[in-house]
A = this chain, B = another copy of it.
Amino acid sequence: MESFKVGIVGCGTVGGGVVELLLKNRKLIGKRIGKPIEIAFVADRDTEKVKALGVPEEKIFNDGLKALDVQCDAVVELIGGTGVAKRVIEEALKRKRHVITANKALLADYGEELFKLARENGVSLKFEASVGGGIPVIKALREGLVGNRVEAIYGIINGTANFILTEMSQKGVSFETALKEAQELGFAEADPTLDVEGFDAAHKIAILSSLAYCRWVKTENVFVKGIRELTPLDIEIAREEFGYSVKLLAIAKATDGELEVRVHPTMIPEENILSSVNGVFNACLIEGDFVGDTLYYGKGAGRRPTASAVVSDIVDVALGNTYDVPECLIEVREEFPLKPPNQFTSSFYLRFTAVDRPGVLAKIAEILGKEQISIKSALQKSLDFEGGVPIVMTTHPARKEQIDRAIAEIDRLDVIVKPTFICMIEEL
């Protein structure tokens, strides 16, 4: 029986995991799909590392583009970035090989042209590992829920940020302390910007929302706010006073015929299952018009979970499954306009830091009232916080532009000593 031949370009953390998986579970996979799977080549600058995994020397290359001369059915790109990775993918597609990638940044920014190229060459470009690590969330969204109109996606899709928020919540430590711990444990990079500022989650929700809503959403279309400003005090007040947990949520939803895509710290009801997603785990809550709420949970990163997702794509192309090119993204361009961030409508949590003086609450309330923002609850904590006292309010649904205008005015008051902390609330 003809075997299915896979070439792997980039043998770092994930690439190494894929090689390991294909070697360890080769028999099992062969049995499950009815034909053997074989590694055609592995390319990496560090050829010794590849050799150490047990790959025969004649299959090891130090140049990904040159390795493409070896005959194979599918190429797995795990270099990352948008430079060489893009060239390898383009070249592989032109040679009519199926391509599997975990490269979310590349897809979020160049997906449109790469999918077109795949289609022109009659091959697949698959990317299960680009969102949610080992969780088969792309498959669930595109295949499992294919009959549904997607109403909303709420994702905890950055494990680093979720680990930090879990530590802050469970131990009451500051963002900085939690970040340091994450770095020491290897859960955060030395430069954690991509993770804690929400850009990584933005890449991922761009991909998910493109699939769900049949239109290209680019990272630059995603409203992004990170978790740096969050304090343990806000997390505690949210939980103790309002029954909310705080998560960095990536959200895509259609409202009023427009699509809003955003990533920001979000307060959600503690009893919602998303609140139970802790540490480095990821989860996506997908709401469909028929299926209702569904959730997909697992490890969102790491060598072995991500390898599991890559291999599911390999098997899909080996079996000729045809979901890979999102037809509607290429042919049917349904116009689903993006909602401008200032039109986002949500309940808000507002924490003011004010001098402890009579009349402050009234002044704040007056300005909110002028903007037609309706206050749901208000509380003042008698404690010293950042040189003032914290005054917390939650609002009924308001447009972000109303809130932004009101807060700008409030923050100019001489009784306000620090910029106001704003957090959106999703009742889910």
Contacts and interface: CB of A to CB of B under 8 A. Distances in A.
A146 B29 contact: yes
A143 interface: yes
A291 interface: yes
Interface string A325-342: 001100010100000000
Nearest to A272: B276
A140 interface: yes
B147 A328 contact: no
A331 to B, nearest CB: 8
A309 B145 CA distance: 7
Interface in A131-188: 134-136, 139-140, 142-149
Given A31-B328, A139-B140, A291 B134 contact: yes
Nearest to A325: B34
A163 to B, nearest CB: 15
Nearest to A326: B32
Contacts of A276: 273, 275-276
Interface stretch (A219-227, A312-320, A413-421): A312-320
A288 B32 CA distance: 15
A87 B197 CA distance: 59
Given A146-B311, A319-B321, A319-B323, A17 B290 contact: yes
Given A140-B136, A146-B29, A291-B304, A319 B319 contact: no
Nearest to A274: B276
Contacts of A316: 143
A134 B327 contact: no
Copies held by the complex: 2
A382 interface: no
Interface stretch (A45-53, A57-65, A292-300, A347-355): A292-300
A21 interface: yes
A314 B33 CA distance: 21
Contact of A290 (B143, B308, B321): B308
Given A136-B144, A140-B136, A293 B299 contact: yes
A312 B25 contact: no
15 contacts: A25-B149, A31-B328, A32-B142, A128-B144, A136-B140, A140-B144, A146-B311, A146-B312, A273-B276, A290-B304, A292-B298, A292-B299, A293-B297, A293-B298, A294-B298
Given A128-B144, A143-B316, A146-B315, 13 more contacts: A31-B328, A32-B142, A33-B327, A134-B288, A136-B145, A146-B311, A148-B308, A291-B309, A292-B299, A292-B302, A293-B299, A294-B299, A295-B296
